[in-house]
Amino acid sequence: MVKSNPFEFKLDSYKNEQIIWVLFENNVSLQRKIEKIKQAKFSKSKNAWYVPDTKAIRAKLGLEVNEIDTRVFDKVHPNNHQALNNFVKALQLKGYKGNTVKVYKNEFIVLLEMLGSNPIDKLNAEKLKSYLYYCTAVLKCSENHLHNKINALRLYFDQVLEKKKIFEEIPRPKKKLEKEKKLSHGDMDKIFEKISNVKHSLVMRLCYELGLKISELVGVKLKQIDMKEKKMIVSGLRGKPDRVQDLPNATFRQLIQYLEEYQPKKFLFEGEGGKQYSVRSAQAVLKSAMGKAKIKKEVGVHGIRPKNYTELLLEYGTNPDLFIDLITK
């Protein structure tokens, strides 16, 4: 509510239009001032006068000019008009200027357009993660583009809705490893050529093809392998949810060969005495194979994983279909 004696103004969405309620005490002279505005209308149901929320009207009423082009509101469903207004005000309060305001506002509007009649205020961490998955997997957004989207959404949920915990559950894209710290596809082909042991080969292949952390892989138990469906259940680390990984056909055939030859009892990969295979052993296998392949990069098993943002989101338990289901209802 904005007060400007003798009037009070209230921004609202009414009859699918962004409007300003003009409130005042019952006074004939004040009413005549409002009637002089051609676009002014009286609502019998609300018992109040209102005018369209435009730059020209705001100027006449002595209000701050809205920085949102009215054409934008035509693209955004009325259910999210107030959210858009609140977001722009938050940008102004933060003191953002120039290109930052333009970029953040555009990113916010893109989501509002996609949401249609679904209110953005009802989105939770799961739906936001699914939206970001859609942006990277379907829209092929770059890392910088994703950061801008996250920054814009975080501003709204943190500052406007005061739901700061939501983004504690949402990861950011990680910086890509330097080439010297990451093994290329060509490097991996050479490494696999030098590993003759089926167990060692399978450990490396699962890390490489499924993007698994070695700490995740060595913790996999036999009961987590679904041989019928060719799937592996990977337990989430540090409180992250479990996820299901499909096993490629060639890798699955190698898995069968390994199980027949080694016959592990509890863990998929076991060391001496049936104990869980160690991360150090896996590192030693990689180092030995790299030496034989004459690859001199300073890299550990983490350098095998072709990490991207979609994989990172899946590690955080993202449901890829959640956002699609929301906007296609």
In a domain, 313, yes or no: no
Question: Which residue, 66, 17, 21, is CA-closest to 7?
Answer: 21
Q: Residue 171: its pLDDT value, please?
A: 81
Q: Residue 303: its pLDDT value, please?
A: 62
Q: Which amino acid is at 59?
A: A
302 and 189 in one domain? yes
CA distance 30 to 50: 13
Please give the DSSP secondary-structure letter assigned to residue 239: T
In a domain, 164, yes or no: yes
In a domain, 33, yes or no: yes
**Chain-centre distance of CA 20, in angstroms?**
35
Q: Residue 302: its pLDDT value, please?
A: 65
In a domain, 312, yes or no: no
In a domain, 86, yes or no: yes
| Beta bridge partners of residue 49, listed in sequence order | 22, 42
| pTM of structure | 0.49
Q: What is the CATH number of the domain that holds 296?
A: 1.10.443.10
Q: In the chain, which stretches have pLDDT less than 50?
A: 1-4, 177-180
219 and 170 in one domain? no
32 and 144 in one domain? no
H helix count then E strand count, the chain: 14, 8
191 and 157 in one domain? no
Query: Dihedral (C-alpha) 27, 28, 30, 35: value to the nearest 10 degrees?
Result: 140
Q: Residue 180: its pLDDT value, please?
A: 46
Number of domains in the chain: 3
Pairing of strands 17-23, 41-43: unpaired
CA distance 75 to 153: 19
271 and 237 in one domain? yes
Q: Residue 329: its pLDDT value, please?
A: 67
The domain of 43 spans 2-65
pLDDT tens, residue by residue, 313-329: 766 678 888 888 888 76
| Beta bridge partners of residue 228, listed in sequence order | none
Q: Residue 156: its pLDDT value, please?
A: 93
In a domain, 311, yes or no: no
